[in-house]
Structure 1
């Protein structure tokens, strides 16, 4: 990489006024940079400093820093002077400031004898300090041996003198000491102590304030005034305001301090001192003289050959500084035509290669100077892009993006930005330094950017990339929580961020770190605090940080608990029936008290039991309580907030009220009868607090209304009822109950009306009639009973009815009783939910409060026919390749005479759309039906309902599918041997040989192994999801299910030993609805599974198989010999032997088991696999012996619903018995076909 030449630049130097500590080595700094690296030289007091002449003077390598070694005892004064450093290379010379090196000094106070000062009380006094001159000047302060002088009537002047506005006797002291602290040497010098004695032997005359010494500082304005009493000081500025941000008042406003003084602070400042005797003011004129300060310091300039440029040097001060230019540390020459000086500006034109130099600008006035270096470097360089190539900038969406393009070149290159094309418009800002700014970033701004730098010598380009990221946002911020102490609280903080950024979550409590406590648990999107305490209350802040942005949200946690118990209960205003209670509330614990509950204890009647008395709002702390006589009261108070009740307060002192007569009588007085000749009077007794005194009794009074004039009364105690016997039946009585005690009776009670007891009604409703409204609803009508027969208050009528039997001849009897109740003003009512075609019986009674009266005469009626219930069952099975058989059972409730069945069916396509509906009427005595000539592999939906003369009942539905072809039948048939059965055949046709469809299962079996229960099955239905489901036998739990993946067996593992399980195989649709299921198997798991034994390796099995093999060999030899002998007979005899197949003997070969194949049906006309010939030894061979129907009609081949065979290998079939008796076979189907 090519290194560009550069003139020197001073980078670090010592201060202009350099005060040194004489106890340490002197280090004068001077550092510079440049290309090539500059060399350094020094001047001292304007003369060249030869470093080599003094061995104590060293210069650091590759640096201009001087080290003056005075550790050997040399005096620092010998090196005092004005130093200046120069840094030089082939392009110019840079110079440092003139550094004045001086040794710090801290001289001692001169020895002096100070006479004690005597002053009169109330006079002003000045204690002079006069510190010695030091370098730098010392810091002055006054102290005594006990305290500082921080009192209003004492202040310190800028020159160090101590002022007393009016001296007091307590100011008498012998140890006023002035101290001078010299900061460079860290030493403190002190003046001789000054003794002050204050006399108090004359009265003090008060006087107006008088200024003692005005201040002359431009930064600190002092205002010292004397008077008695001490005056108050204030400040104003003439025609302007005192700068509030930079002005401060010190020492009881006696000092005005202005920081960062500028020329605007010049003017007149007025100090005003006043007391109640008057005021006086003093004006201080402030003139701001300023050393030079920069307005615009000169800056380095890089020019190409024949370019022009300027260097400006602008400084201000008071008085205005003068500007002097130097080049390479020397006065500038005026004869160079490419350079001109115009005051504070250097103008360059048509610069040439080799005219590089360092220029110095010196701005000075009487208060100081400024010196600054600026170089002019004349270069001819093509553009260079200094920004790293392929830099990736990432920015958050809607935020500004800054893409840098730092370049160098001479002449100065121009920068152009591209993204697919040149960028321009208001959406972009092109900064002078080459930076591209996008005001508001959008995802469309992402991509590759190219910056191109051009000048007259060439161009350079660089590629950078911008990625605009989604902002981080807290979607669910934490929310305010109010939680009880010892509970847990969770703050949620869920955020969304750009997927490419990795977020970090930080939680703060009150803007600080979370406590180091294991109760605080931070999860990915929440903060959990367990076992909350009061110290956990505060503000919790969730901060989501990424490398580009952050978002935060805060929530407050308030820890609450029940309020503290009230205290300081006090009773006042004690009278016979009331008292005033006051208390002090306890702590609210961050939840406002809503109310106070006042309770009392009656130590006389219920000691230890507290009763609620009254409640008052939470803003009150007093309550006026109404009391009852003859109670020993103690009170306590509980406070309630949102959390709950506080603990009870301590009980108040006991207050006893005096006894009195009762204030009230018992309530809820009633009179009623429990028998037909009595009256029971009841009431709610008074509480001990209502008794008002000892000896509580109840005076019970009664008389028959409108009959008796005088009251009959009796007094009772400790009861709440009284029974009056011998009363007439159900007559009105006036009843009263009055309370009385040892101090008198209660108020006069009011009378209530009660009735004596009722008796059963004596008459039954008459003229009972039944009107049939329909087959399930009847209306009953009756005549009301006479009022005199009610013997009480009539409450209504009851109709008792029951179904005796159905009118169907095979119906059984029913005894279930039903009752309908009707109001007393009704003389008719309806009996709902009757069963049609039935005989009913009913009776009607009247009833009152005592019970029911006699029943009316029984009325029998018959309900008309209704529609029947659904058929008891409905199933569909295949009949042939193009046929389906339907079977059903009669309805459980015929509700009339069956007139037939309505049968409907329609096709269903793969989208579950229904085809044209076909309808058939079938007779009532038919229970099966076969559909022929149906298309192969077609799905059907069937409907069937029973009919009476009143119409059709509800339908049963079923679905089935016709099989695809004969090969499908062969594949579906299970390979098992069929045997004869003694059970009569249900339906003997080919349907019994074919598996059911819609879909169905067959050959479901189970076996136990060491791995579990092996369940196997065969499935002939359409494609469904198969599950093996199981449940513990006789349990109420849900079925467990395990999915089967395409096989026809499944192992159930994990079954518990010693239990029995119900198992079934279920076919489910995609909606998880069960379409079909197999019959349930009962699988028993033994408590201990015995080890499996391989039977093939057992000795007895091998011996048995050997014997059987030998026997078979002997039989084959015998058969071979007989066959050879049997071949020699005439053809005529052979034909005669085959003339009647019905009596043809069965050969031994017919017993052999052959393979089941399609040829068994079409070619050889052999029996079905597993079938046997009749025991009579004959085989029927007529014109239909090649049809499957004959075999389907055989009783030997009966199937269960799941397609399995019924029967064992023993016994004769019914068909054998029929052949023996020579009876013709009965027809099987009532209808073979229907076209």
Structure 2
């Protein structure tokens, strides 16, 4: 009987869970305010990571003492998130979270914690506005003072039930960029006796909440049927009114690359005008354009593009019947991620070559800097295996070493207009060979057939696989009889059987792995 053995060979190996990976971090700017409401909505800075053994925070470049004063861990030993028992003016500053284990350190973006404020609306009685059905209407709202400037929103409220509050989502009612409520055409139902329109102010300092403000009630009088539109033809509630501009965005708009572009064209008239959008000097960015039929885009009255690219600059046009408005959009090319994604993580075997890409665009061209575990590469001992390519956009590491190269790498792309920053995780795999097949297998084969014996092995670094017989002698490859084919990490042995094999080995032939 013949025995065929598949033997994988590899150098000493290591195991491990890999470097820490950030799962959650704060936004780049966090606002808070002082006052009694802080007891209900405390200031929290989130920092969640996978595989992290320890968390530390740095404020303005100095390590922060957590758990010894007004700042405490949200879930000690389980999370890096911290909270402030009671916010104070001196809590302002730049914060950064470090998540570490034996394989490396993941670093969050710098968080600018800022003190803000938002005053209350003055108490005013309900304002009553008389309007005719079918007319257009603009309702103003004076915002309270605040830092940063508050954003105005409008809500439905029931005057008979104070618990009934609803966001306005209507095809004929829109809030413009200046916080005014625009009725493209007033419907009779807009003047229901129990319906109030409430202006409210939001601000980052309120963290998702708002301050209630002025309330408005409409008294809508029916429009009489004109002689040009008989009641039988269009009905009193369908009487047409002339189209007009209620609000359009400024003729010049400047946005930063990577942020959101929003252009508004709100037209009044009856029937309700349909707004058509186009780009005069190019194609619309359809892949990043919000659905123009959705409530988020105000049913076509708002043109919204996420993650603006420099090529989105140009002249945009909105059109409703014979009315046209153009807006020239200028894009400031602060650094942004090309292809809409930051560098990808690397997970490769020892002794292979790995590449981290920091593909950021901008104008002027961003300067790329790399760090490892929070330390700039040029501050680490020189290593000829690390090479920067494409003006620093690509970091190549040759002959990956588990002990040296496993870690968290930080990429920072910056120019005078701003920066983008992220972590990329390099996990160098190093483990002993393990078979991906049963260790013993039997085949019964037919004379003059071909048998296919595979030897699937997983190891890092990549193993050297050889075939031997029971006496550890290499299999003699005979042209036309045997063939060894390497594919990925598998080694396949093809044997073509004839009568000579039966005589030489045994019958029936049963090789055992």
Instruction: Report the TM-score range of the alignment, normalised by the length of the smaller protein.
Output: 0.5 to 0.7
In the other structure, the counterpart of 1:29 is 47
Contact kept? 1:233, 1:254, Cα under 8 Å: yes
Of 156, 175, 182, 1:163 maps to: 182
Question: In the aligned structure 1, how far is the partner of 2:199 from the partner of 2:212?
Answer: 6
SS of residue matched to 1:54? coil
Q: Which residue of 1 aligns with 2:264?
A: 222
Post-superposition CA distance 1:304-328 (Å, at most 9, x none): 5xx9x56433223455543112244
**What is the distance in 2 between the residues matched to 1:437 and 1:123?**
80
How far off its partner does 1:282 sit? Answer: 1.6
Instruction: Show CA shifts across 1:772-818 (max 9, x none).
Output: xxxxxxxxxxxxxxxxxxxxxxxxxxxxxxxxxxxxxxxxxxxxxxx
| Equivalent in 429, 447, 457 of residue 405 of structure 1 | 457
Asked whether the 8 Å contact 1:128–1:160 carries over to 2, the reply is yes
Distance in 2 of aligned mates of 1:47 and 1:370: 20
Tell whether the 8 Å contact from 2:20 to 2:103 is kept in structure 1 after alignment.
no
2:446 corresponding residue in structure 1: none
Mapping for residues 442-457 of structure 1, pairs under 5 Å: none
Structure-1 separation of matches of 2:61 and 2:171: 54
CA distance in 1, matches of 2:456, 2:149: 49
- Residue aligning to 2:438: 390
Question: 1:127, CA displacement in angstroms?
Answer: 0.8
1:255 matched to which residue of 2?
A: 301
In structure 2, the residue matched to 1:212 is: 246
Distance 1:22 1:121 in 2: 47
CA contact (8 A) 2:150 2:201 kept: no
Identify the residue that residue 312 of structure 1 maps to in structure 2: 356
Report the alpha carbon displacement of residue 43 of structure 1 after superposing the two structures with TM: 0.8
Find the counterpart in structure 2 of residue 363 from structure 1.
413
Asked if residue 176 in structure 1 is aligned to residue 197 in structure 2, the reply is: yes
| Mapping of residues 688-703 of structure 1, within 5 Å | none
**1:22-67 residue CA offsets vs partner (Å, 9 max, x unmatched):** 5367464354648xxx654321122111347537535977667254
The correspondence of residues 87-236 of structure 1 with structure 2, limited to 5 A, is: 87=99, 93-100=105-112, 108-111=120-123, 117=129, 124-132=136-144, 140-143=153-156, 145=158, 153-167=172-186, 175-179=196-200, 187-196=209-218, 209-215=243-249, 219-227=261-269, 230-236=272-278
Do the aligned partners of residues 207 and 48 (structure 1) sit closer, same or farther apart at CA in structure 2, a change above 3 Å counting? Answer: same
Q: What is the SS of the residue equivalent to 1:333?
A: helix
Change over 3 Å in CA distance of 1:80–1:66 after alignment to 2: farther
Q: Deviations over 1:892-936 (max 9, x none)?
A: xxxxxxxxxxxxxxxxxxxxxxxxxxxxxxxxxxxxxxxxxxxxx
- Alpha-carbon distance in structure 2 between the residues aligned to 1:417 and 1:160: 77
* Distance 1:162-1:199 versus aligned 2 partners, 3 A rule: same
1:43 matched to 2:58:
yes
Q: Does 1:284 align with 2:330?
A: no
Aligned partners of 1:28 and 1:65 also within 8 Å: yes
Match of residue 857 from structure 1: none
Query: 1:389·1:464 contact (CA, 8 Å) conserved in 2?
Result: no
Q: Counterparts of 2:98 and 2:246 in 1: how far apart (Å)?
A: 53
Aligned-pair distance for 1:280? Answer: 1.3
Q: 2:368 aligned with 1:323, yes or no?
A: yes
Counterpart-to-counterpart distance in 1, 2:13 and 2:116: 49
CA distance in 2, matches of 1:19, 1:109: 20
Distance 2:192 2:468 in 1: 85
Larger Rg: 1
| DSSP 3-state at the match of 1:190 | strand
Is 1:332 the counterpart of 2:377? The answer is yes
Partner SS, residue 120 of structure 2: coil
How far, CA to CA, are the matches of 2:167 and 2:75 in structure 1?
Answer: 49
Is 1:430 aligned with 2:490? no
SS in 1 for 2:286: coil
1:516-527 matches, cutoff 5 A:
none
1:935-976 C-alpha deviation (Å, 9 max, x unpaired)? xxxxxxxxxxxxxxxxxxxxxxxxxxxxxxxxxxxxxxxxxx
- Could you say if the C-alpha distance between residues 286 and 166 of structure 1 is closer, same or farther in structure 2, counting changes exceeding 3 Å? same
Matched-pair contact (CA < 8 Å) for 1:41–1:64? no
Cα-to-partner distance string for 1:233-271 (whole Å, 9 max, x where unaligned) = 333443536739963324684425556556366544432
Q: CA RMSD in A?
A: 5.5
Map 1:648-687; keep pairs closer than 5 Å. Answer: none
Q: 2 CA distance for matches of 1:233 and 1:323?
A: 43
SS in structure 1 at match of 2:174: strand
Shift of the 46–97 alpha-carbon distance from structure 1 to 2, 3 Å rule, reads: same
2:143/2:150 contact within 8 Å kept: no
Equivalent pair of 1:328/1:357 in contact (CA under 8 Å): no
SS in 1 for 2:457: coil
Paired residues, number: 412
Higher relative contact order (CA 8 A, sep 6+): 2
Structure 1: how far apart are the matches of 2:454 and 2:178? 56
In the alignment, which residue of structure 2 is the partner of 1:271? 318
* Cα distance change on mapping 1:120 and 1:416 into 2, 3 Å: farther
Change (3 A) 1:115 1:140: closer
Task: Report the Cα distance in structure 2 between the residues aligned to 1:296 and 1:112, rounded to whole angstroms.
Answer: 53
Distance (whole Å) between structure 1 residues aligned to residue 171 and residue 492 of structure 2: 60
Cα distance in 1 for partners of 2:180, 2:467 equals 70
Any idea what the Cα deviations from partners look like across 1:154-213, whole Å, max 9, x if unmatched? 333244421133557876678432245789766453322235566899999987533222
Distance 1:464 1:159, change over 3 A: farther
Identify unmatched segments of 5+ residues in structure 1: 394-400, 439-443, 445-462, 466-1235
Is the 1:15–1:99 Cα contact (8 Å) retained in structure 2? yes
Question: In 2 relative to 1, CA 143–353 (structure 1 residues): closer, same or farther, beyond 3 Å?
Answer: closer
SS at match of 1:85: strand
SS in 2 for 1:406: strand
Measured after TM superposition, the shift of residue 16 of structure 1 is 3.2
| Distance in 2 (alpha carbons) for counterparts of 1:117 and 1:376 | 66
Gap change, CA 1:22 and 1:185, over 3 Å in 2:
farther
Query: How much does 1:102 deviate?
Result: 6.4
